[in-house]
Amino acid sequence: MSMNKKLAILFSILQMITGIGFISLYIWSSEQNVFSAVLWSDFKLWLAVMLLILGVIGVYAAASYIGTPIRKDMKRILDNLPPGVEANNKEEDKDEWQQLMQYTKVLIYKIKEESNTKERILADAVHEMRTPLSVIRGQVESILEGSIDCKPEQLLPLIDETSRLSRLIHDLRELSLAESGKLRMNYEWVEFSELIDLVWERFEAEAAEREIQCEIKTASGQVLCDKQRMEQVLINLIGNAVSYTPDFGSIEIEARIHQYVITVVVRNSGQGISLEHLPYVFQRFYRADASRQRSKGGMGLGLAIAKHYVEAHEGSISVDSNPGKGAVFQFTVPLFPQS
């Protein structure tokens, strides 16, 4: 029961007790039988009864009016709760104060969780930066000590490592904006089949060199999306498929449109992803095969970024895999986002 109803009922009961008490005192002082017609013909008694009824109604209305600001405050709290919290905690049998206490506990948990997430991001970023910085420092120290000559080919590793640092900083910034809901989307109509072909051209030479067969099946249709970020999603998924497909393997890219939603599926042959790794593939800095991913220059951010970009388009992304049968990445986005 809500708090305003409790207040209304409480004050109404007090009003009734007070009113009945005064009426009883009047009847007792009149020295008449309670069922006497003479007694009930008295105008004063009827006036007291009417005042009692009006008082109960007035007190109930006043208590309801007093509870209105509380209801408005609770509505504002509900509107600003994180997604999923209201559905788990909104119960009709709890008053506003009990709900408020529950929501406060949930918000405290969310704040702690965000704090822990920031600490993990910082720790992961420091860990990822340590390797390129060590390479750069070691190379520079060797040049200063004269153990290696300062030639252009000796500086190439430094350029590679600084590029890794730049990509890491950019990706971390994008992740931070996406998680805080501050990504600025530049929507435009994009022919999705052309976008997939454009992305595949990036990896076509590597696939041909390793004799990887690729089959592309796309439906023609335009999607209102941020072209640059949707292109990055495809680059991350297709690039991941090429990296983990063995020589002489196969990749299949499919895009289909149904009920104003486009579904993109990227399949590849190979070892696939172990079941224990599947729940974590979209987490930042997570690598199912750490040594192989690092050797290819990956930092474990590609799939995390893809997930947040897809969700920013009001879509969803998933992965399915069986060891020895490759992996299947699938994402769906509406042709025209509601936002």
Phi, psi of 273 (to 5 degrees): -120, 130
- Provide the CATH topology of domain 187-334: Heat Shock Protein 90 (3.30.565)
* Residue 300 · residue 285 · CB < 8 Å: yes
Q: Which tokens hold the place of 120? A: 């993990």
In the 8-state DSSP scheme, what is residue 191? E
Assign residue 111 a region: left if phi > 0, alpha if psi is -120 to 50, beta otherwise? alpha
- Provide the CATH topology of domain 106-179: Helix Hairpins (1.10.287)
Helices (H), 184-267: 192-209, 227-244
Question: pLDDT by residue for the chain (339 residues), tens digit each?
Answer: 555 566 666 666 776 677 666 666 666 666 655 555 555 555 566 666 777 777 777 767 776 676 677 667 666 666 665 554 554 444 455 565 666 677 777 778 778 877 776 777 777 777 777 777 887 888 888 888 887 777 777 777 788 778 878 877 888 888 778 777 778 889 999 999 999 999 999 999 999 999 999 999 998 889 999 999 999 999 999 999 998 899 999 999 999 999 899 999 999 998 888 888 888 888 877 766 554 444 454 567 888 889 999 999 999 999 998 888 889 999 999 998 876
Is-above-0.75 flag for pTM?
no
Determine the distance from the C-alpha atom of residue 83 to the mean position of all C-alpha atoms in its chain, rounded to a whole number. 7
Burial 70-84 (b: 16+ CB within 10 A, else e): beeebeebeeebeee
Alpha-carbon span 182 to 176, nearest angstrom: 8
Output the 3-class SS for 29-91: HHCCCCCCHHHHCCHHHHHHHHHHHHHHHHHHHHHHHHHHHHHHHHHHHHHCCCCCHHHHHCC
